[in-house]
């Protein structure tokens, strides 16, 4: 493996000149640059990332912390982040924790030991220790999707409240009056915002929210399934249900099927977060799609700007879109 010295020797210059030439600094004479480039090429010279990181004080690695990379929402965030990072010749380290504490700790250590130049995190509100450690961390930080209480860092998110309010309004316009919501933990700000939109739509429609129809604290397929089962056991049943994320939707859908009910005839189903197969499900699921890919890009962008020295960066709010399909219909 050729080093910078070999290149310097072959080109007949000093190592300092090699560095400058290869970075295309204007202070180097064109002829010199040419010679250095030729030498580097001939020796297959690739500068050592470790040496560079050590010398410059930071790496070109961005970290992305997500609960579950298999969840397509996060996968798309990852793809967006990675694409944007690659444009700046940065790489992404994706850590998918499954809420694994040990893994969280490892990631934080990596931020401290300089493996990572910056971190984008989708944190779970419950984990106070992690949150606190995060805020004490050196280096750029950006939050994606949600902000744990007390964490001061730019956030990339969707306008949850607005889009939910509009979507639920559509339900009222169809004639629904008993609309249920399967919401997440109350310390998820996303859940709160979506719930808030849900309530506002009720106010808009002059309908009081039936609190028993709002189920808090549900997560994942299991949570969605359980909440839906409970909702279906009520009398009278809700005529529509709004699920606060993709996995919860899947669980709810299964529960509805098991109960032998028809969508949307017996009950309408509205999902937050789209999935690629939702159009093929029976029936195709109407969903509020978040611009996950763009959110990932925006996160990388913000990290890069922070690394460039910019401070006081604002939150970035991206629009979500209602994608009408067949799971919404007027109540019987």
Partner DNA sequence: TTGTAAGCGTTATCAA
Partner DNA sequence: TTGATAACGCTTACAA
Q: How many CB atoms lie within 10 A of CB 52?
A: 14
> Which one, 19 or 190, has the nearer CB to DNA?
19
Q: What residue has token string 């990388």?
A: 300
> Which one, 57 or 206, has the nearer CB to a copy of itself?
57
**Which residue of 15, 96, 196, 229 would you call a contact of a copy of itself, by CB under 8 A?**
96
CA dist list (Å): 1 to 35, 44, 56, 156, 203: 20, 8, 22, 42, 69
Residues 6+ apart with CB under 8 A from 209: 198, 199, 202
* 41 lies in the binding site for DNA (CB under 7 A): no
Site for a copy of itself in 209-268 (CB under 8 A): 250, 253-254, 257
**Which residue of 9, 37, 47, 178 would you call a contact of DNA, by CB under 7 A?**
47
Stretch that binds DNA, among 47-55, 69-77, 147-155, 272-280 (CB under 7 A): 47-55
Give me the residues paired with residue 243 across strands: 182, 271
**DSSP letter assigned to residue 279:** G
Can you list the alpha helix ranges (DSSP code H) found in 94-219? 101-112, 128-135, 160-174, 189-205
**Which residue of 32, 96, 196, 210 would you call a contact of DNA, by CB under 7 A?**
32
Report in angstroms how near the CB of residue 37 gets to DNA at its nearest.
12
Q: 249: closest CA among 210, 277, 213?
A: 277
Report in angstroms how near the CB of residue 84 gets to DNA at its nearest.
22
* 286 lies in the binding site for a copy of itself (CB under 8 A): no
* 44 lies in the binding site for DNA (CB under 7 A): no
Give me the residues paired with residue 64 across strands: 94, 120
* 316 lies in the binding site for a copy of itself (CB under 8 A): no
Pattern of binders to DNA over 50-89, x per CB under 7 A? Answer: -xx-xxxx--------------------------------
Q: Which does 14 bind (CB under 5 to 8 A by kind): DNA, a copy of itself, none?
A: DNA
Q: Which does 177 bind (CB under 5 to 8 A by kind): DNA, a copy of itself, none?
A: none
First to last CA, the chain: 74
d(CA 91, CA 177): 50
């Amino acid at each position: 493996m050729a080093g910078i010295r070999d290149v310097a020797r072959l080109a007949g210059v000093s190592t300092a000149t090699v560095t400058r030439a290869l970075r295309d600094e204007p202070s180097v004479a064109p002829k010199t640059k040419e010679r250095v480039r030729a030498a580097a090429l001939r020796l297959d010279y690739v500068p050592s990332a470790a040496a560079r990181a050590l010398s410059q004080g930071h790496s070109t690695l961005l970290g992305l912390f997500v609960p579950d990379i298999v969840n397509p929402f996060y996968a798309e965030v990852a793809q967006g982040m990675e694409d944007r990072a690659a444009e700046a010749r940065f790489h992404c380290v994706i850590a998918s924790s499954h809420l694994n504490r040990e893994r969280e700790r490892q990631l934080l250590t990596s931020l401290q030991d300089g493996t990572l130049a910056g971190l984008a995190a989708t944190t779970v509100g419950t984990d106070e220790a992690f949150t606190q450690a995060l805020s004490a961390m050196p280096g750029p930080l950006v939050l994606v999707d949600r902000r744990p209480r007390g964490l001061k860092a730019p956030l990339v998110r969707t306008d949850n409240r607005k889009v939910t309010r509009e979507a639920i309004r559509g339900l009222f316009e169809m004639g629904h009056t008993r609309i249920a919501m399967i919401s997440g933990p109350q310390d998820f700000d996303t859940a709160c915002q979506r719930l808030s939109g849900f309530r506002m739509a009720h106010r808009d429609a002059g309908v009081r929210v039936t609190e028993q129809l709002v189920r808090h604290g549900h997560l994942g397929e299991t949570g969605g399934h359980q909440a839906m089962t409970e909702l279906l056991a009520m009398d009278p049943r809700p005529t529509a249900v709004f699920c606060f994320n993709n996995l919860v939707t899947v669980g709810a859908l299964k529960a509805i099927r098991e109960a032998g009910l028809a969508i949307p005839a017996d009950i309408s189903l509205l999902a937050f977060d789209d999935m690629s197969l939702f159009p093929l499900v029976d029936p195709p699921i109407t969903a509020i799609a978040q611009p996950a890919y763009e959110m990932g890009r925006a996160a990388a962008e913000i990290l890069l700007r922070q690394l460039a020295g910019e401070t006081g960066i604002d939150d970035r709010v991206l629009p979500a879109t209602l994608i009408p399909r067949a799971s919404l219909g007027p109540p019987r």
